[in-house]
Structure 1
Amino acid sequence: MRIKTTGLLATATLALVLTACGTSDTPPVTPADKAGAGAATAAPTTLSPAAKAAAREAAGLPPEPDAATAATFIAALDAIDKDIVHGKQEKAISRGLDTCSTYKRYPDDTDKQIDQTNRRWSSPAHPDGHGLATAKQIRAIAHKHLCPTF
């Protein structure tokens, strides 16, 4: 009797597994299908320049630099060491803006600003940063060119 029960249980389990794993000619239902075939997708929200500026300010970031300011900033970094930017100008601008954010967050803690700058400004040749003396120079350049009002 035990063999018959085990055999029946195994057969039922196999049938259930095969049914669950079966293929179907109908494609899976997507969220768009559930919303309806003619449902419109939401357009991405765009912020006005004033709203972007307010959001950046709330996040402790200065405005994006114009092309001339960005070029001057990059040139100043390259004058210290070309490996600071290492050919990644957009990344350098982003890191500079982040440095400004640190400058604003810790206005009375120069050591913290320099430490954070050193950590943020790494490169393939300097994975742990360029050192505190270089970080101090980078911090000063970011402040001068990207966030002089901070």
Structure 2
Amino acid sequence: MRTHHTAAALAAATLLLTLTGCAEVVTSEPKPDDKIASPPAADAQAATSSADPDAARAAAGLPPEPKGPARKAFLDGLNAIDKDIVHGKDDKAISRGIDTCGLIKNNPEPAKRAEQTNRRWTSPTHPEGHGLGTATKILAVTHANICPTY
């Protein structure tokens, strides 16, 4: 019986010491001359991506956002396949197109490209994708209008 009381007291004392140690860490105030250092690479990347999104995309190996006639041709091409692909969300379609260019660049296997494109290009009425045939057409429109050099 005494063993149980001793073990319980020991466990309680350990818990109390542990919580006391945590409280000291939490309640300690930083000194005014303490500085929180962030990695320089993270600062540079954040500055680059917020200042120039196209530079950030280029650093990631992706093409710049299409503008003017290239943007219009891309969106018109997708809408010609099926208006539900873009479904009124032009900027979202552009973002997916840039992402698809990364897929084109990094995946040489056409069947895998089509599968991944089908999974990526969903809509409210096609939550599982538009099918492999449509995905192949999306790939062609994306390649022709956003990243023809890939």
- State TM-score, norm by structure 2: 0.66
- Structure 1 residue 13 displacement after superposition: 3.1
Query: Among 11, 35, 38, which residue is 1:13 paired with?
Result: 11
Cα distance in 2 for partners of 1:105, 1:10 equals 60
- Structure 1 residue 84 displacement after superposition: 0.9
- Conserved 8 A contact 2:75-2:93: yes
Cα distance in 1 for partners of 2:113, 2:22 equals 60
- Structure 1 residue 106 displacement after superposition: 4.3
Q: Which residue of 2 is the match for residue 113 of structure 1?
A: 113
Cα distance in 1 for partners of 2:20, 2:27 equals 16
Q: Which structure features the higher share of helix residues? A: 2
- Structure 1 residue 40 displacement after superposition: 5.7
For the pair 1:55 / 2:59, whether they are aligned, the reply is yes
Identity %: 41
Q: Which residue of 1 is the match for residue 26 of structure 2?
A: 28
For the pair 1:131 / 2:131, whether they are aligned, the reply is yes
Task: Render the CA deviation track for 1:84-125: whole Å, top value 9, x for unaligned.
Answer: 123333332122122222333345x44443333223212232
Cα distance in 2 for partners of 1:9, 1:83 equals 67
- Conserved 8 A contact 2:58-2:64: no
- State TM-score, norm by structure 1: 0.66
| Segment drifting more, 93-102 vs 36-45 | 36-45
| Segment drifting more, 117-126 vs 5-14 | 5-14
Number of positions where the alignment pairs a residue of Structure 1 with one of Structure 2: 141
- Which residue identity does 2:59 align to in structure 1? A
For the pair 1:37 / 2:32, whether they are aligned, the reply is yes
Q: Secondary structure at the match of 1:91?
A: helix
Cα distance in 2 for partners of 1:102, 1:7 equals 64
- Structure 1 residue 146 displacement after superposition: 0.4
- Conserved 8 A contact 2:78-2:141: yes
The structure with the larger Rg is 1
Cα distance in 1 for partners of 2:107, 2:24 equals 59
- Structure 1 residue 18 displacement after superposition: 4.2
- Structure 1 residue 127 displacement after superposition: 2.4
- Structure 1 residue 141 displacement after superposition: 1.2
- Which residue identity does 1:75 align to in structure 2? D
Q: RMSD in angstroms over aligned alpha carbons?
A: 3.6
For the pair 1:97 / 2:98, whether they are aligned, the reply is yes
Q: 1:63 to 1:29 in 2, by over 3 A?
A: farther
Structure 1: 5+ residue runs without aligned partners? none
Q: Which residue of 2 is the match for residue 84 of structure 1?
A: 85
Cα distance in 2 for partners of 1:6, 1:132 equals 67
